[in-house]
Amino acid sequence: MLKVNTISFKYHPKRPVLEGFNFSLHQGEHICIMGESGCGKSTLLKAIYGLLDLNKGEILWKEEQIFGPKHHLVPGFEKFKYVAQDFDLMPFISVSENIQKFLSRFYPEESKKRTEELLEVIEMSAFAKTKVKNLSGGQKQRVAIARALAKEPELLLLDEPFGQIDNFKKNSLRRNLFRYLKEKNISCIVATHDKNDALSFADKLIIIKNNKMIANDSPSEIYKNPKEKYIAALFDDVNELTFNNETFLRYPDQLKVVEKSDILATVLNSYFKGSFWLIEAAFNNQKVFVNHSKEITKNTKIYIEVSVKS
């Protein structure tokens, strides 16, 4: 189990980056960390990996304390692997060689089999002999993930792991990777902006705002019952509506266009989203977003019904 016990960290004496973080992670469990840029996501991963010296608190893995650079000549906890956004690959050797660098030379057949297995996970078997310098940014990102998995770490730390990967590859890669981690019982912490990483694959979700944890629960609970607009806005467009001095947060799919209701709005724009149209409208000096089956002409008057369920 990972235990993060009330940790705090500052790069600058007057500017805290992490304040009072406190959570735990069981073996094989996956946590997703979300929040706006600069909130402390990447710093938290670095702290857990042992790249930073904490100002307060402690981090434990199975009761073994993780220390920073002041205590280790080579920083980084040996039972973890951390995939940063810069990848740090060896550009002049092949994809396979980058992965095999972390495997034993005394068992070449096992090393070869393991490399082939990981190439399948990242969907890059066809690029096994390609030099890394000739790969795209997204392909390098996938190789960095495979290399981190070479020795099956107990905890994998991923910083925006799919940020440079094309959408048509991202979905299948994400399914392959998280399925593989579950099969191998490898714990994982992912820092991301992508709601699909959190909602589809995380066991727990942590939300960071202004360098503090403001939510720590299951993805479904946080999505369905966001405590504030900041949280809801990480997942979708969000409506903050006030009726009778009471404020409600609702996603566009929790509103619908009806024949008659108490909300009469004026259409401002319609945005095609593939399987639906997102209608932007104005009501009582408030902007309202509602999903609809077809486009609605600008300046059309529409009635909107709001779901009473959060």
- How confident is the model over 281-291, as pLDDT tens digits? 998 888 999 99
Q: Are residues 186 and 130 in the same domain?
A: yes
Across the range 35-53, mean pLDDT stands at: 94
pLDDT at 309 over 80: no
Q: Are residues 94 and 174 in the same domain?
A: yes
Give 308's pLDDT tier (boundaries 50, 70, 90): low
In the Cβ-directed half-sphere of 147, how many Cα atoms lie within 13 Å?
24
Q: Give the CATH number of the domain where residue 260 resides.
A: 2.40.50.140
Give the total number of structural domains in the chain. 2
Q: What pLDDT does residue 108 have?
A: 82
Give 310's pLDDT tier (boundaries 50, 70, 90): low
| Side-by-side strand order, sheet with 255-258 | 255-258, 301-306, 263-272, 277-283, 286-292
Q: Are residues 15 and 162 in the same domain?
A: yes
Q: Are residues 264 and 217 in the same domain?
A: no
Q: Are residues 78 and 197 in the same domain?
A: yes
Tokens 């980056």 belong to residue: 17
Whether residue 235 lies inside any domain: the answer is no
Q: Are residues 178 and 287 in the same domain?
A: no
Whether residue 23 lies inside any domain: the answer is yes
> How far lies 214's CA from each of 12, 13, 157, 197, in Å?
22, 23, 21, 19
| Side-by-side strand order, sheet with 30-34 | 80-83, 155-159, 187-192, 30-34, 204-209, 212-217
Whether residue 274 lies inside any domain: the answer is yes
Chain-centre distance for alpha carbon 14: 28
Separation between Cα atoms, residue 278 and residue 295, nearest integer Å: 8
> How far lies 40's CA from each of 2, 67, 120, 187, 299, in Å?
19, 19, 33, 21, 42
Whether residue 277 lies inside any domain: the answer is yes
SS3 13: coil
pLDDT at 13 over 90: no
End position of a domain, from candidates 200, 229, 258: 229
Q: Cα dihedral sign for 26, 32, 38, 39? A: negative
Whether residue 94 lies inside any domain: the answer is yes
Whether residue 234 lies inside any domain: the answer is no
Q: Are residues 115 and 207 in the same domain?
A: yes
Q: Are residues 210 and 285 in the same domain?
A: no
Q: What letter represents residue 266's amino acid?
A: T
Q: In the numeric block, which tokens belong to residue 4? A: 């993060």
Whether residue 99 lies inside any domain: the answer is yes
Across the range 139-147, mean pLDDT stands at: 93
End position of a domain, from candidates 229, 256, 276: 229
Render pLDDT for 224-274 as a digit per residue (tens, 0 to 9).
999 999 999 999 999 998 777 788 899 999 999 999 998 899 999 999 999
Q: What pLDDT does residue 166 have?
A: 83
Domain extent at residue 132: 2-229
Q: Are residues 192 and 122 in the same domain?
A: yes
Helices marked H in the chain — which ranges?
Answer: 41-49, 95-100, 108-121, 137-149, 167-183, 195-201, 219-224, 229-233
Whether residue 19 lies inside any domain: the answer is yes
Q: Are residues 214 and 249 in the same domain?
A: no
What secondary structure, in 3-state letters, does 23-89 show? EEECCCCEEEEECCCCCCHHHHHHHHHCCCCCCEEEEEECCEECCCCCCCCCCCCCCEEEECCCCCC
Render pLDDT for 72-128 as a digit per residue (tens, 0 to 9).
888 899 999 999 988 788 999 999 999 998 787 777 888 899 999 999 999 999 999
End position of a domain, from candidates 209, 229, 249: 229
Q: Are residues 257 and 152 in the same domain?
A: no
Note the pTM of the prediction, 2 decimals: 0.91
Across the range 54-79, mean pLDDT stands at: 92
Q: Give the CATH number of the domain where residue 25 resides.
A: 3.40.50.300
**Is the distance from CB of 91 to CB of 132 less than 8 angstroms?**
yes
Q: Are residues 169 and 269 in the same domain?
A: no
Render pLDDT for 159-197 as a digit per residue (tens, 0 to 9).
999 888 888 888 899 999 999 999 999 999 999 988 988
Across the range 213-218, mean pLDDT stands at: 96
